[in-house]
Structure 1
Amino acid sequence: MAEQYPQALTIAGSDSDGSAGMQADLHTFFRRGVYGASVMTAAVAGNSYGIHDSVNLPTSFIDNEFKALADDYHIKASKTGMLSDSELILDVVKNYTKYDFGPLVVDPVITTKHGNVLLEESAYKTLRDKLIPLATVITPNFFETQKLAEMEINNEQDTEEAAHKLQQLGAKNVVLKGRHDNSDQKQVSDYVLLESGEGFFLHDTFHDTTRVNGTGDSLSACIAAEIAKGTDIKTAITIAKKFVNEAIENEIFVGHKFGPINHWAPKE
């Protein structure tokens, strides 16, 4: 009976301001009715103005985090967030393949939503070649999709082609997040390609706000939470899209500059 409650795992860095990373994942797990466990890979000192310092945890400690959870919990789905170098990525791959932590949702944190590169090329290649093949679902932003698919995306046909290229990298189900860096745009369109071959767009209203920290984290966490509850992949993705859009639409004013999305806003 103790292991029947749905449990999900975030493998990510800790953001001290609570707006993104592991904290955004745990906020999302809680709101979706899932018990959230965590493997901390790094710690970030930051606030709404930016990141001021960061440190990676030793891989020996990360190994012990994985083992401690495997010895006691029944994790039914997992997700990854920012993994900053090849050593961390390889350690996560080693542990995820060693233990049964359910389907994996990979948020491939390579660039920001505005196109700024976050990973060195060696770490990018490790993520592409070692982690992405383990993904049940992958959720890249627009610029990450272009990087992974090695092509420019200018229209819907390009988007669909890119999704198939990401499946060829090993990801079973693909969620390509649309651009949202233009204040004049009216909507955001994400493209979904399922393992079955079914593909479709999800459209929603674009909200011009600086309160978007943790958007990608929360989308991937919501998908993982729904999978942990037994929801099918297609439904999990559509629920996550709606959850994040409502969290962006209903702003919460925390911090002075770039703030978090509002995890309280989405309806059950």
Structure 2
Amino acid sequence: MKKVLTIAGSDCSGGAGIQADLKTFSAHGVYGMSVITAVTAQNTQGVFAVQDISRDVIAKQIEAIFEDIEVDGVKIGMVSQVQTIEVISEQLRRYKPQTIVVDPVMVSKSGYHLLNPEAESTLIKELLPLAMIVTPNIPEAEVMTKMSINTLKQMEEASKAIYQMGAKNVLLKGGHLEDDSTDILYDGREFSYFSTSRIATKNTHGTGCTLSSALTANLALGYHLNEAVSRAKEYITTAIQHSLAIGKGVGPTHHFYELYKKAGLIE
């Protein structure tokens, strides 16, 4: 069984962060492990508090995993402090996992700034060069590039700019565009496009975490990048189509829809 690690923040409501990552790993048949970088108080209505985990404890979590278990893929999510980013990059340079997916989580859907502004340049400098692929959405790409992104052409230009920051591949997610949801993959030479029709639902809590975790799992399973992106896109689309009306706000996606369907738990 492939072993996949998520380095991210905890979501006590279970829809995003570490909890969404572990659910996604399980749905893909890989063994999930976690390094918690922060504990958040959040639910479907927003993020209300964040407690960052100390640098030493983050380092010890990473060390405990890599000294004992072979890691086939690493997904990096919420890393809100400069010292958090620095210790993660130090440890990953030490252990050198081949597959690293960076999801540059910066702002929650409710507008809460999850990434400390002072840490933005550190994330770009320290983590992007380690990434096999980085997966920003449009608002995150706008923060990273200082560009306004409203069209596919502008997405392409932003992807080139982010590639120049050091990532080996860029998957720029187009869910914030008004038309169909088109994601662009750029490998430094050519663009690939992954499009789906927009799904009419408000319940999209944790979609970015889930997509990047699905991508990490598929890469760990041995799929080539384009196929891994395609499979991850298909997975998150199904999860959104059957999202859950849980809570009073933006509900979570259904990480186990296909498994529940096969088990006869749902029609």
Q: What TM-score do you get using the length of structure 2 for normalisation?
A: 0.91
Aligned residue number for residue 223 of structure 1: 215
Count of aligned positions: 260
Q: Which runs of 5+ in 2 are unaligned?
A: 263-267
SS of corresponding position for 1:88: helix
Distance 1:79 1:8 in 2: 8
Aligned residue number for residue 184 of structure 2: 191
Q: CA deviation at 1:118?
A: 3.5
- Structural mapping, 1:74-223, within 5 Å: 74-113=70-109, 117-180=113-176, 185-195=178-188, 197-223=189-215
Question: Would the aligned equivalents of 2:78 and 2:115 in 1 still touch at CA under 8 Å?
Answer: no
1:43-95 CA distance string (max 9 Å, x none): 11222222232211111111111111112111011011111111111111111
Q: Which runs of 5+ in 1 are unaligned?
A: none
Return the letter of the residue paired with 1:63. Answer: A
Higher alpha-carbon deviation: 217-226 or 104-113? 104-113
Return the letter of the residue paired with 2:185. Answer: V
- Structural mapping, 1:12-27, within 5 Å: 12-27=8-23
Return the letter of the residue paired with 2:237. Answer: N
Aligned residue number for residue 254 of structure 1: 246
Identity of aligned residues (%): 35
Higher alpha-carbon deviation: 113-122 or 157-166? 113-122
Distance 2:47 2:120 in 1: 21
Give the counterpart of 2:30 among 19, 31, 34.
34
Distance 1:75 1:198 in 2: 30
Return the letter of the residue paired with 2:66. Answer: A
SS of corresponding position for 2:74: strand
Which consecutive aligned stretches of 4+ in structure 1 deviate over 3 angstroms post-superposition?
112-118
Distance 1:116 1:45 in 2: 12
CA distance 1:201–1:46, shift in 2 (3 Å): same
Return the letter of the residue paired with 2:187. Answer: L
Higher alpha-carbon deviation: 39-48 or 108-117? 108-117
Distance 1:199 1:68 in 2: 38
Higher alpha-carbon deviation: 99-108 or 26-35? 99-108
SS of corresponding position for 2:212: helix
Higher alpha-carbon deviation: 122-131 or 23-32? 122-131
Return the letter of the residue paired with 2:33. Answer: A
CA distance 1:217–1:57, shift in 2 (3 Å): same
Distance 1:28 1:112 in 2: 19
Distance 1:69 1:105 in 2: 17
Distance 1:241 1:139 in 2: 12
Distance 1:121 1:64 in 2: 26
Distance 1:216 1:233 in 2: 18
Structural RMSD (CA): 1.8
Q: CA deviation at 1:146?
A: 1.8
